[in-house]
Amino acid sequence: MSLQLRIKVEDAEVRTMLQALQGRMKDMTPVMREVGEIVRESVMRNFKEGRSPQGVPWKPSLRAILQRGQTLVDTARLRNSITVRPARDHVAVGTNVEYAAVHQFGARKGSFGEVLARVRAHTRRTRTGKQAQVRAHTRRMRLPWGDIPARPFLGVRPGDWGEIREAILSHVMAAHK
Dihedral angle computed from the Cα positions of residues 106, 112, 117 and 123, in that order, rounded to the nearest 10 degrees: 30
- How many CB atoms are located within 10 Å of the residue 158 CB? 10
Q: Parallel, antiparallel, or unpaired: how do β-strands 91-94 and 83-86 relate? A: antiparallel
Residues 121 and 158 in one domain: no
Query: What is residue 167's predicted lDDT score, i.e. its pLDDT?
Result: 93
Query: What is residue 86's predicted lDDT score, i.e. its pLDDT?
Result: 95
Q: What is the three-class DSSP state of 57?
A: strand
Residues 143 and 158 in one domain: no
Residues 120 and 75 in one domain: no
Query: What is residue 176's predicted lDDT score, i.e. its pLDDT?
Result: 55
Q: Is residue 4 part of a domain?
A: no
Residues 88 and 162 in one domain: yes
Residues 155 and 95 in one domain: yes
Q: Is residue 154 part of a domain?
A: yes
Query: What is residue 67's predicted lDDT score, i.e. its pLDDT?
Result: 92
Residues 87 and 171 in one domain: yes
> What's the total number of domains in the chain?
2
Q: Is residue 1 part of a domain?
A: no
Residues 17 and 43 in one domain: yes
Q: Is residue 6 part of a domain?
A: no
Residue 118's DSSP bridge partners are 138
- How far are the Cα atoms of 11, 57, 100, 110, 155 from residue 103, in angstroms, in the given order? 56, 13, 5, 16, 13
Residues 97 and 117 in one domain: no
Residues 88 and 61 in one domain: yes
Residues 84 and 143 in one domain: no
Domain with 35 in it: 12-106+150-176
Q: How does pLDDT run along the chain (177 residues), one tens digit per residue?
A: 667 776 666 777 777 777 777 766 778 899 999 999 999 999 999 999 999 999 999 999 888 999 998 988 889 999 999 999 999 989 999 999 999 999 999 989 988 889 999 999 999 999 999 999 999 999 999 988 888 899 999 999 999 999 999 998 888 877 555
Residues 170 and 137 in one domain: no
Q: Is residue 2 part of a domain?
A: no
Q: Is residue 72 part of a domain?
A: yes
Q: Is residue 114 part of a domain?
A: yes
Burial bucket for residue 32 (CB in 10 Å: 0-12, 13-18, 19+): buried
Query: What is residue 115's predicted lDDT score, i.e. its pLDDT?
Result: 92
Query: What is residue 8's predicted lDDT score, i.e. its pLDDT?
Result: 66
Q: Is residue 7 part of a domain?
A: no
Residues 90 and 134 in one domain: no
